[in-house]
Structure 1
Amino acid sequence: MAAEHDATGPADGRGPLQGVRVVELVGIGPGPFAAMLLADLGADVVRVDRPGGSALGIDPAQDLTNRNKRSVVLDLKTHDGLQAALALVERADILIEGNRPGVTERLGIGPDACRARNPRLVYGRMTGWGQQGPLASRAGHDLGYIAVSGALGLAGPAGGPPYAPANLLGDYAGGSLYLVVGLLAALHHARSPGGTGQVVDAAVVDGASHLTSMIHGMLAAGAWQDRRGANLLDGGAPFYGTYDTADGGHMAVGALEPSFYEEFLRLLGLGEDTTLPSRDDPANWTALRERIAARFRLRTRDEWTEVFDGSDACVAPVLSLAEAPRHPHLAARGTFLELDGRTQPAPAPRFSATPGAVRTPPALPGAHTAEVARDWELPDLLALDKEATP
């Protein structure tokens, strides 16, 4: 078992959601990540795995989205398995599922069936397309969801296709985080005087679209062009983008404010260059970018990192996933943890009085049946688990 790690602050590392019970129906992508976030913040998350092993296709012991959870194995297609799952639901505050619309209803564990057993239950539904609409029943993945939301069209160079930002923008930012906000808001309502449970319909297309609110405002105000590589924040501005270095590395520049831009030019070695095009006219941006790019190509990434270290030029090295935990600032904050020989991000955000923690390693399917049966007062789980666990 991993050593417990407090994300920050005093207390016992159990987090502000201690006492909140969550049932997670096995899935992949944004649902498990949302459940992990709740677990990191102290919720008691019981993952209902299905017989047959991990859905993600990797060793369950390496699936960090299952940390801080407990697992039971139930076959929801059997009467006894379904009844055991519904018994968990009776004792839960939140349920998370990530199936296509109608699937849990057909299994007998849809919102109506669950809330008939537990009227205060918050039923979280995580999908790409949402519960209604022409595409609701269609298959999909992160890339398609952010494509139709307009978010994908923001990423990439002006002269090429958009690039896929892993599944961070859709699944996790537009999906998981919006689901968690919805679940906690609905839980607050359910626990208020006269409050009831409800269904939270979290769709990646909705969340990803909502993330573009500021950009839509700028577009309406005429301060944003509806194309890539032509705007202040999409790499169009030469003072907000990335540059190659002599060793094949990259530096990220975010010198938006005039004072930061002056500091940037000074340290880059262009502060006294009177021939440098003005940044205020977008017609100069291509020429200005070429001048800046030429300077960056003169030194390595590490050399430029040293040049800009300690300044307000808003310049940072572009690090890989393996390099990021060693960055001095992230190391000082404990942004990453090394537990059981595995590097992983620490819980976030941080709380001064009720910090979250990594309390347990990724839950293996069916590993916690006895604990859950005891803590949730469901002795029948033990017999079912012996039948269902591979």
Structure 2
Amino acid sequence: MQPLAGIRILEFDGLGPVTFAGMMLADLGAEVLRLTRSASAGAAVFDEVGGAVLHRARSAVPVDLKSSADRDRVLALAAGADAVIEGFRPGVMERLGYGPEALQAANPRLVFGRVTGWGQDGPLADQVGHDLNYIGLSGVLHAMGSADRPPTPPLNLVGDYGGGAMLLVVGVLAALVEARTTGRGRVVDAAMTDGAALLGGLFHALRGQGLWSDRRGVNLLDGGAPFYRCYACRDGGFVAVAALEPRFYAALLAGLALDPAEAPQHDVAAWPALAARFEALFLERDRDDWASRFAGTEACVTPVLSLTEAALHPHNRARGTFHDGLPAPAPRFDGARPVPPDAGVGLSLDEAVAQWSVPG
């Protein structure tokens, strides 16, 4: 049994972080109903995003949020829910009649989780944006990429999923624990700008100690250090090198047949020349040749795998990290290998209300 078994959550369907948060909560055992846009409500675009991974493990219930009849039934579902999650722009849920005040009036213990880019208040709260905008304002985007190029978009992992979805899940779980004691729900305001800034906490700490520069590509963990970056190989593949500790660095030099006296690790002025030396050496072999050469050593050199290759790697196969080529739920509990829950079914709103009556 998963830890959130018995928890009921209404997910107002959306894009990006709220979808990922719904998947996480369902993977952890919560019973999640995903309220999708009905045909009468217009676009079906939300049903096309997420697919077999992000929409797994919960039933889809078409709803016209502007219909008074549907509204009464959604309020009935909220009365029996432990939490609601939504990702609309500030004020939208209130205008539709589904804001925290309305839903918590019917269910005082309801946790109301909201995730947006800019947050529920502040000068930019009503402005449009996407992941790249939010992490740009947080300061973390500036630190990503090469020194001589514009910052590199880190997919949409830092804003949408790290700073948004994951912190929404943390906030909802914390509020659920409190609600069990107090009988009162909280409103969780998860902003991607806040979350991305928080994820950058280590680098603020390092900068405060004089150990991090605002110059991109010259620091220990941003690709500036020759022993913590990726290198191209002869066949066009890449290896990831993360030999931070001295003994790991020594193992790296041994694998590259370099004399430690000619490659001091922390001579920052010599880093560019040392990186060029490493680049030339890694180009002499194919990626998997290097992976074999460093296998079983402490050099922290591993192949950079594609999405397809990752599902086939022996470690990931042994761990069950992927299931049928798709990411499996994480984390696992008591060492049990997580198995993706069965795909959710389609329910009508009436069926959902009948199935999901208020707990007695």
**TM-score bin, normalised by smaller chain:** over 0.9
Contact residue 70 and residue 368 of structure 1 kept, 8 A: no
Deviations, residues 269-304 of structure 1 (Å, cap 9, x unaligned): 21x364x23222100000110111111000000111
Q: Which residue of 2 aligns with 1:135?
A: 124
TM superposition shift of 1:373: 3.5
SS of match in other structure, 1:165 = coil
Out of 29, 32, 48, the position equivalent to 1:42 is 29
Contact residue 178 and residue 207 of structure 1 kept, 8 A: yes
Q: Which residue of 1 aligns with 2:330?
A: 348
Q: Whole-Å Cα distance in 1 between the matches of residues 332 and 265 of structure 2?
A: 38
Contact residue 242 and residue 251 of structure 1 kept, 8 A: yes
Contact residue 53 and residue 327 of structure 2 kept, 8 A: no
SS of match in other structure, 2:315 = helix
1:104 is aligned with what amino acid? Answer: M
Q: Which residue of 2 aligns with 1:68?
A: 57
Inter-CA distance 213–46: structure 2 relative to 1 (3 Å threshold): same
Q: Which residue of 2 aligns with 1:187?
A: 176
2:101 is aligned with what amino acid? Answer: D
Q: Whole-Å Cα distance in 2 between the matches of residues 104 and 370 of structure 1?
A: 22
Q: Whole-Å Cα distance in 2 between the matches of residues 162 and 140 of structure 1?
A: 18
SS of match in other structure, 1:350 = coil
Deviations, residues 324-360 of structure 1 (Å, cap 9, x unaligned): 111111111010001xxxx211110010188754221
Q: Which residue of 2 aligns with 1:262?
A: 250
Aligned-residue Cα RMSD (Å) equals 1.7
Inter-CA distance 23–158: structure 2 relative to 1 (3 Å threshold): same
Are 1:279 and 2:265 matched, yes or no? yes
Q: Whole-Å Cα distance in 1 between the matches of residues 334 and 16 of structure 2?
A: 30
TM superposition shift of 1:371: 5.5
TM superposition shift of 1:211: 0.4
1:35 is aligned with what amino acid? Answer: G
Contact residue 16 and residue 356 of structure 1 kept, 8 A: no
Q: Whole-Å Cα distance in 1 between the matches of residues 175 and 316 of structure 2?
A: 34
Q: Whole-Å Cα distance in 2 between the matches of residues 148 and 124 of structure 1?
A: 23
Gaps of 5+ in 2: none
SS of match in other structure, 1:331 = helix
Contact residue 255 and residue 314 of structure 1 kept, 8 A: yes
Q: Whole-Å Cα distance in 2 between the matches of residues 215 and 93 of structure 1?
A: 36
1:321 is aligned with what amino acid? Answer: L
1:279 is aligned with what amino acid? Answer: Q
Q: Which residue of 2 aligns with 1:153?
A: 142
Deviations, residues 91-120 of structure 1 (Å, cap 9, x unaligned): 000000100000000000000000000000
Gaps of 5+ in 1: 1-13, 379-390
Q: Which residue of 1 aligns with 2:342?
A: 360
SS of match in other structure, 1:18 = coil
Out of 155, 160, 163, the position equivalent to 1:174 is 163
1:246 is aligned with what amino acid? Answer: R
Deviations, residues 11-58 of structure 1 (Å, cap 9, x unaligned): xxx411000000000101000100110000000000111113643473
Q: Which residue of 2 aligns with 1:55?
A: 45
Q: Percent of aligned positions with the same letter in both sequences?
A: 50
Contact residue 41 and residue 355 of structure 1 kept, 8 A: no
1:167 is aligned with what amino acid? Answer: N
Out of 183, 194, 202, the position equivalent to 1:206 is 194
Q: Whole-Å Cα distance in 2 between the matches of residues 58 and 76 of structure 1?
A: 19
Aligned pairs for 1:1-390 (under 5 A) are 14-52=1-39, 54-56=44-46, 58=48, 62-192=51-181, 194-270=182-258, 272=259, 274=261, 276-338=262-324, 343-352=325-334, 357-361=339-343, 363=344, 366-367=346-347, 372-377=352-357
SS of match in other structure, 1:45 = strand
Inter-CA distance 269–370: structure 2 relative to 1 (3 Å threshold): farther
Q: Whole-Å Cα distance in 1 between the matches of residues 46 and 308 of structure 2?
A: 22
1:318 is aligned with what amino acid? Answer: V
TM superposition shift of 1:163: 1.0
Contact residue 142 and residue 151 of structure 2 kept, 8 A: yes
Inter-CA distance 116–355: structure 2 relative to 1 (3 Å threshold): farther
Contact residue 119 and residue 191 of structure 2 kept, 8 A: yes
Q: In terms of mean alpha carbon deviation, does 173-182 or 46-55 score higher? A: 46-55
Q: Whole-Å Cα distance in 1 between the matches of residues 289 and 235 of structure 2?
A: 10
Q: Whole-Å Cα distance in 1 between the matches of residues 338 and 257 of structure 2?
A: 45
SS of match in other structure, 2:308 = coil
User: Whose RCO is larger (CA < 8 A, sep 6+)?
Assistant: 1
Question: Please, what TM-score do these two structures have when normalized by structure 2?
Answer: 0.94
Q: Whole-Å Cα distance in 2 between the matches of residues 301 and 92 of structure 1?
A: 51
Q: Whole-Å Cα distance in 1 between the matches of residues 179 and 246 of structure 2?
A: 48
SS of match in other structure, 2:60 = strand
Instruction: Give the length in aligned residue pairs.
Output: 355
SS of match in other structure, 2:188 = strand
SS of match in other structure, 1:323 = helix
Question: Please, what TM-score do these two structures have when normalized by structure 1?
Answer: 0.87
Q: Whole-Å Cα distance in 2 between the matches of residues 230 and 241 of structure 1?
A: 11
